[in-house]
Amino acid sequence: MYRRKTIYIPLLDMYIIKNGFAARAGRKVLRGINRGKTCERQKQINENLAAEKRAYLILNNFVARHDTGKELVRGDRWITLTYKPGRKPDSLDCAHKNLTTMLRKIKRKYKACKYIAKTEDPGNGNFHHHLIMSRDVPHDFIAGLWFDFSSHIDDEEIYSLADFKLIYYFLKSDGSHKCIAAKYSASRNLDKPIVKVTIMRSGHWRREPVPKRGYEIFDTQNYFDVFGFEAQKYFMRRLI
């Protein structure tokens, strides 16, 4: 059967609509017991779905620098943490523990802080961390917590999220030439997008979808999924 999945991002008043085939849609069948290793194709599907969920969380919780016409709204922050020689961790787990320890201290003092963080293993021992974080935590406070590992922190204001470049860089897949493994963490106060799934009685949809009144479609992707079925994804935002 075919289904339509609508993801609404309240912070941006934006919709992401996905049309495609879903083998289990509309079927009241319990999932069977896992009896073997997940195949590579399914691993890729799972990885893509996890990356999409993280992307939607970023869009619904963090803002880029923008002018509302009445005031200039400062953007949230893109932070990169590295290690100085002699303080590099031995494993991905050790590196991630260093990060989560720091994040717990931040949350203890700044309870409203939001973040989504990633510890990367590039394969050469140079473990590092990327964070997208709300702008309410002073740079000096973070620098003080990380000083034992490094005196240098890259801390930049986010100037754009709409082009997805920063999000794609943050979510570059584990196993790529720049990231052979990664671990993620996120604050518990992130606002989730609103997701609605409906069953489509037909497998046909407009190749050029029509926007809702007062909205515009700014990106449409027609493609075939990994199983060879037709699929579609498009983005719709409110007209300014």
Going by the DSSP 8-state scheme, the letter that residue 12 receives in this structure is: T
Cβ proximity of 128 and 82 under 8 Å: yes
The predicted structure's pLDDT at residue 32: 63
Sort 92 into a burial class: Cβ within 10 Å, 0-12 / 13-18 / 19+.
middle
**Could you report the average pLDDT of every consecutive run of 10 residues in the chain (240 residues)?**
92 94 66 68 80 94 90 93 94 97 97 96 92 96 96 93 89 73 95 94 83 94 87 92
The predicted structure's pLDDT at residue 177: 62
Give alpha helix (H) positions in the chain: 40-61, 92-109, 139-146, 165-170
The predicted structure's pLDDT at residue 46: 81
User: For the whole prediction, is pTM greater than 0.85?
Assistant: yes
Cβ proximity of 48 and 34 under 8 Å: no
| Ordered structural domains, the chain, with CATH | 2-27+39-64+196-238 (no CATH), 67-186 (3.30.70.1910)
Q: Residue 171: CB partners within 8 Å, gap ≥ 6?
A: 51, 54, 55
Cβ proximity of 142 and 76 under 8 Å: no
